[in-house]
Amino acid sequence: MSNHRWAALAVLLVAEAMNLLDATIVQVAAPAIHAELGGAAATISWYSAAYTLPFALLLVTGGRLGDLAGRRRVFRIGVAAFTLASAACALAPSPVPLLVFRAVQGAAAALVIPQTIGLIRAMFDGPDRAKALGAIGPVMGLAAVCGPVLGGVLTQAWSWRAVFLVTVPLGLAVFVAAALLTEDRAATRPRLDLVGTALVAAGAGLVVYPLVASWHAGVFASGVALLVVFGVHQRFSWHRGRRPLIEAGLFRDAGFPAALLTSVLFFAVMSGLMQVVVLHLQVTAHAGPRAAGLTLLPWSAGLAVSSWVAGTHLVPRFGGRLLFAGLAVLAAGVAGLAAAFAYGWSPLVPLAVGGLGIGLFTVPFFNSALQRVGPAETGSAAGLLNAVQQLGATLGVAGLGSVFFSAGAPVACWVAVAVLVAAVVPGWGMTRDQVSASGNVRRTAAS
C-alpha cells in the first residue's frame, strides 16, 4: 500500500472517529449542560437524540449524493458543516439553539460517513482493501471508549462547552487533508430521488423517534407503514427504468439483504451491550463516569488487536468464514460477562474476549457485504449499511437498556447472546456463495 493511500486512509479514519466521538462524548456532559442552560428534564436525552436522528435519517441520501456529486466533494462539504456546527454548539446560549446545532452536526455527519466506505472501496482492492477496512475497528473502539472518558474529564476540568470544541481542530485538519483523497463517483450520474428521500426520512424518523424518546406504538406503526410505501415506490421506480434512491442491483440476490439484517442484529448487541456495562457499573456498582469508561478499555484493546490481525492475516486466508468465528468469540465474551455480573467477578477478561470477537467480525463483514456491490451501487450500499447499523444500535440501546432496568445486567447479557445466535442465519446467507467458492477451490487444489 503506497504512502499516499496510507495518508488518505488516515483522513477517512479520523473522520470516522470524529463522528463516533461526538456521538458518545455528550452522554456524560448532558447533565452539566442541563444544569447550566436549564430547560425541561426531558431535554437531557435530546442532546444525544438531536444528533442521532438526522444522522440516521439522511445516511442513505448522503451516500446517494456521493454517487451524484463526487464522494470527495460531498465528504469535504460534510466535514466543513460538521466543524462549523461543533463550534456553534460550544457557543450556544440556551437549549433550543444547542439542539438545532446538534441536528446540523448529525446531518453533516450523514454526508461524511457514507463516503468513507465508498472511498476505501475505490482506493483499495484485494488484500489491501481488507487491511484498510480492518483499520476501522481499532479507530471505532478507541473513539467509543475515549468519548465518555474524555467527556467526563473535560466537563469536570473546564466546562461542557469544551466537549464540542474537541472536534473543531480535528475537523479543520480533515478538511485540509481531504485533498489527498481520490475523487470518485458513479460512472453514470443518477438523479436524486426526492420522493424516495422524503419517504425514507419520514418513515425512519417515525420508527426511530419512539426508540430514543418515548414509546408510542402508533408513531412506530406509522413509520413502518411509510417504509413499506417507500419499498413499493422504489420497486415501481425500478420497473419504470428510473434510478431510485436504493439501487435495484443490491437486491439481485439474497446476499446484500442478509448483510443488512446481520448488521442490525450485530450492532444492536455491540451498542446495547456497551450501554448495559456502563449502566451496571454506575447504577448497580455505583462507579463514577470516569471509572466506568476506563473499565471499557479491555473491550477497546481486544477490538483493536483482532481488527488488525483479521485485516492483515486472517481475512485473506479465511474470507467470510471468519465472520462466524467473530460471532462465536463475542458470544463467549458476553456469556462470561453475564457470569461476572451475576457473581460479582471482574468484567475485564470477558470484555477483552468480547472485543476480540467484534474485531474478528467487523472486518470480514464489511468486506463480504461490499464484495458483490458494483461501482454504481457503492453510494447507495454504503448509505444503507450505515443506516441499518445506526438503526441496530438504537434498537440495541433501547432494548437491552429496558431489559437491564427490568431484569438486570445478567439477563440483558443472555438476551444479547440469543441475538448473536440469531445473527448466524443471515450471516450464512450473506457469505454462502463465498464459503462455497472457497470450499471448491480447496477441493480442486487437493485433487
Average pLDDT over residues 63-73: 84
What is the pLDDT, as a whole number, of residue 444?
A: 35
Which residues lie closer than 8 Å to 277 by C-beta, 6 or more apart?
292, 295, 296, 299, 337, 347, 351, 409
* Mean pLDDT, the chain, whole residue set: 81
**Chain segment 185-224, per-residue pLDDT in tens:** 766 666 677 888 888 888 877 887 776 666 788 888 998 8
| DSSP symbol at 313 | I
What pLDDT does 446 receive? Answer: 37
For residue 157, pLDDT beyond 80: no
When mean pLDDT is compared across 78-87, 158-167, 380-389, 401-410, the lowest value belongs to 380-389
Would you give the distance in Å from CA 340 to the centre of its chain? Answer: 27
The CATH homologous superfamily to which domain 1-182 belongs is MFS general substrate transporter like domains (1.20.1250.20)
pLDDT tens-digit series, residues 291-313? 766 787 888 788 878 887 887 78
Residue 201 DSSP one-character state: H
Q: Determine the Cα–Cα distance for residues 211 and 393; give it in Å rounded to an integer.
A: 11
**437 pLDDT above the threshold of 50:** no
Cell numbers linked to 312: 492483515
Q: At 191, give phi and psi (nearest 5°).
A: -85, 145
Q: What is the pLDDT of residue 371?
A: 74
Task: Indicate left, alpha or beta for 191 from its phi (over 0: left) and psi (-120 to 50: alpha).
Answer: beta
Q: Is the pLDDT of residue 17 over 90?
A: no
From the options 3.40.50.300, 2.40.290.10, 1.20.1250.20, 3.40.50.170, give the CATH code of 252-434: 1.20.1250.20
CA atoms within 13 A on the CB side of 57: 24
Gap between the Cα atoms of 147 and 141, Å rounded:
10
- Whose CA is closest to 106, among 94, 89, 93, 121? 89
Q: pLDDT band at residue 363, thresholds of 50, 70 and 90?
A: confident
Q: C-alpha angle with apex 131: 127 to 134, nearest 5 degrees?
A: 135
**The predicted structure's pLDDT at residue 328:** 96
How far is the C-alpha of 60 from the C-alpha of 246, rounded, in Å?
8
The pLDDT-based confidence of 337 (bands split at 50, 70, 90) is very high
